[in-house]
Structure 1
């Protein structure tokens, strides 16, 4: 892909053959945007003149494990029964590690790639500074590439070369998911053949599958991404949801209810499923299939499924272990995402100067803002709503801001822009939660969410 190639070209320009390497490089971007793919492509292109190791910091719970993993890989040392699972060298301190690195062949060039580099913050305070100055300590042409989803300002104040991996565009995601067309349709054919239907029905459905060509799948992806692209940019999550919702799109074609070329009716048929899936994005509640998701909205005969799903969401909300203020931040983010900013004064300020209008009946479901996906909001607006709905007075502390970062890491919030400007207040975020889930969070802390949604006024 063009985006990946551009990042790889930047890395090749930085780490040229027979050239001195930079001390350290920081590769960052949102989760699932291809950072690891960039690294793999780069190292493959440079394998003839660079010796490299890739370490995952989240697998190293101590400095010792991290250091020994690096030395083991550089020396092609594998832990097994023959060596009694002993490392190549015993390393207890940073000095031991630097001594071992210094023993590498001085005529070669080396790169240490540390994935999940944000985990280094949980280790010794000097570890990031050491990895960013390995050349000075060892005299080798060696560099470290730190890979993370957070901005470097959250890691260290030292100057470093930063390379940003941008989010996938809608066209990028379409192309990636479209590459799975053959795999997806082979699975459909396999499931049809394994079914308990009569042979005539199986033959009929297999014939219908032949009309579900690549253009058919591309039309589905267009409908799917129109709903989910604003709320989620995580490729893994989109891929999961895409597979879950696809049966609701193609089942009417298999049964002969809708022709594969009737894009309008196919879109109308799958809309309810997509909206329901949007309400449980990131949670994978009960791992419901697309058919189950669709059935919960159809008619009174499905009250058991509705009750089951409601109980599942309620249980998940009750089991979610978050600080008290974090739960209010979740509620505030949902309100900010699904209310217009101009309605904040009316909803959250006492004695706002206007006569309170008589309560109107709730809006029809299809016209509700909560069904149209989340809108972005600023940190300032989030905190303003948070303080308005919280009964007690709380000062703005680093702990409060760190809880916002935690909610982002848990995928309950997602950045739209300005990830590196969280402390400045200029970042824009979106809530990824569904109405049912937030209502249950509200019940836990004793807060009526519907009372503060314009859809219910």
Structure 2
């Protein structure tokens, strides 16, 4: 039984047929881990006995709209031309809403699902509390299922039943991506057939050797590079197809056999690592432009174009002043060994840290091996070391770390949503060029504080 099935089983245990529902429950987990898929599968199994309405709280700008959507759905009232697009009942306040709910049939069971439930914290103070106690106010077998990526403690309410949707593990992601094999390869086949090149028949013959085992080998290599840095399924899907063309291109050209995994890895590794440095940013570079050009044909113009794109993105990014320093500090923490912090950041090593040795850099720099995890304490220590002014440790400062996580510039490795407690471990997801350009905005030389350049 996979994790989706386990979560669906829990939902059915809470909201089973002829069962008394809990007053409310909370479904939570990181973004893009399958929360909506769990709900979709659960509703398919419960459709015969359960009346449901799904609310997207980020689309609700007045409480009256929230109330009317629920009442319309439970009364099977559809807005149309025949009813002049009028709601089932005019609802001006919470009392009207509760009266309309109480008038529903007591022989049925009702479930209100609120996606992006964290937005309800911005509504009137009593709305969240009342939605948690609808059974008490209406006498119905009714419940609210709140869905969010935030930890329950962020809601500041009393305890409720909680269902955690864990991150996808490697096997889950591999299983999901293997279902895309047919679609991806059909697009490749059509592209080869539509091409005007003379040897497309030869390429079609080579294409036949790109079987499911070939695709699975690619997935293993792909996830070995990206899994620690990114668990976002949408982002991984985007990168998967962008990098795949670089993996299979030498097979189509006849340079490498489809079963020669070692040489295929050597061919694709630098493209995967380049993509890792610009993950989440969606900027054009040699790892994310469908690899239309030969990897050896990247000239000075292409390099300048890539750097210009990153620079433009960095300059237009609107972040608070301290958040930019936190972003730089997170990059340094991810790409420097902890044992080098004393040499790079302590005041009594000031002369040494400002002296860049003009030596030839190693081909295997730390920034090329992907980010390493770091603790909140280490992040803040580097932040204070590189910041010239003195600033106190406040909730506002810690909340800016959470903002960087929400913007996907940082990602959790462990201790999700425990930033305030200081137990979380994070990774930086930005690349060197982006960090350098952010540094220029605040007058900070990033390379000067990277161990690769010492």
Same fold (TM over 0.5): yes
Once the two structures are superposed, residues 248-281 of structure 1 have per-residue CA deviations (whole angstroms, 9 ceiling, x without a partner) of 0001111111111111111111111111111111
Q: CA deviation at 1:174?
A: 0.8
Q: Work out whether residues 275 and 287 of structure 2, in 8 Å CA contact, stay in contact via their aligned partners in 1.
A: no
Q: CA deviation at 1:85?
A: 2.9
Residue aligned with 2:55, SS: strand
Give the equivalent residue in structure 2 for 1:157. 157
Aligned partners of 1:294, 1:389: CA distance in 2, in Å? 41
Uncovered stretches (5+) of structure 2, i.e. residues with no partner: none
Once the two structures are superposed, residues 262-311 of structure 1 have per-residue CA deviations (whole angstroms, 9 ceiling, x without a partner) of 11111111111111111111111148764566969746x52111111110
Q: CA deviation at 1:213?
A: 0.2
Once the two structures are superposed, residues 213-234 of structure 1 have per-residue CA deviations (whole angstroms, 9 ceiling, x without a partner) of 0000000011111110010000
Residue aligned with 1:244, SS: helix
CA gap of 1:78–1:305, structure 2 versus 1, over 3 A, is: farther
Aligned partners of 1:49, 1:33: CA distance in 2, in Å? 27
Give the equivalent residue in structure 1 for 2:441. 444
Once the two structures are superposed, residues 114-151 of structure 1 have per-residue CA deviations (whole angstroms, 9 ceiling, x without a partner) of 11111112212222212111111111111111111110
Query: How well do the aligned residues superpose, as a CA RMSD in angstroms?
Result: 2.0
Q: Matched residue pairs, number?
A: 454
Give the equivalent residue in structure 2 for 1:310. 307
**Dislocated runs of 4+, deviation >6 Å:** 353-358
1:282 aligns with 2:280: yes
Q: CA deviation at 1:70?
A: 1.8
Once the two structures are superposed, residues 302-358 of structure 1 have per-residue CA deviations (whole angstroms, 9 ceiling, x without a partner) of 211111111011000011111111111111111111111121122111015997797
1:85 aligns with 2:82: no
Give the equivalent residue in structure 1 for 2:381. 384
Aligned partners of 2:74, 2:353: CA distance in 1, in Å? 71
Give the equivalent residue in structure 2 for 1:142. 142
Aligned partners of 2:262, 2:364: CA distance in 1, in Å? 19
Residue aligned with 2:417, SS: helix
CA gap of 1:83–1:286, structure 2 versus 1, over 3 A, is: farther
> Which one of 298, 317, 330 corresponds to residue 320 of structure 1?
317
Aligned partners of 2:238, 2:147: CA distance in 1, in Å? 24
Q: Work out whether residues 30 and 149 of structure 1, in 8 Å CA contact, stay in contact via their aligned partners in 2.
A: yes
Residue aligned with 1:17, SS: coil
Aligned partners of 2:44, 2:94: CA distance in 1, in Å? 30
Aligned partners of 2:395, 2:360: CA distance in 1, in Å? 39
Q: Work out whether residues 114 and 146 of structure 2, in 8 Å CA contact, stay in contact via their aligned partners in 1.
A: yes
Q: TM (normalized to structure 2)?
A: 0.95
Aligned partners of 2:125, 2:230: CA distance in 1, in Å? 34
Aligned partners of 2:280, 2:68: CA distance in 1, in Å? 36
Give the equivalent residue in structure 2 for 1:28. 28
Q: TM (normalized to structure 1)?
A: 0.95
The 5-angstrom pairing of residues 218-237 of structure 1 reads 218-237=216-235
Bigger mean CA offset, 345-354 vs 115-124: 345-354
Q: Work out whether residues 329 and 386 of structure 1, in 8 Å CA contact, stay in contact via their aligned partners in 2.
A: yes
Aligned partners of 2:151, 2:209: CA distance in 1, in Å? 47
CA gap of 1:269–1:95, structure 2 versus 1, over 3 A, is: same
CA gap of 1:294–1:345, structure 2 versus 1, over 3 A, is: farther
> Which one of 395, 398, 405 corresponds to residue 395 of structure 2?
398
Q: Work out whether residues 248 and 290 of structure 1, in 8 Å CA contact, stay in contact via their aligned partners in 2.
A: no
Give the equivalent residue in structure 1 for 2:118. 118
Once the two structures are superposed, residues 55-92 of structure 1 have per-residue CA deviations (whole angstroms, 9 ceiling, x without a partner) of 11112122222222222222223333333333222223
Q: Work out whether residues 28 and 148 of structure 1, in 8 Å CA contact, stay in contact via their aligned partners in 2.
A: yes
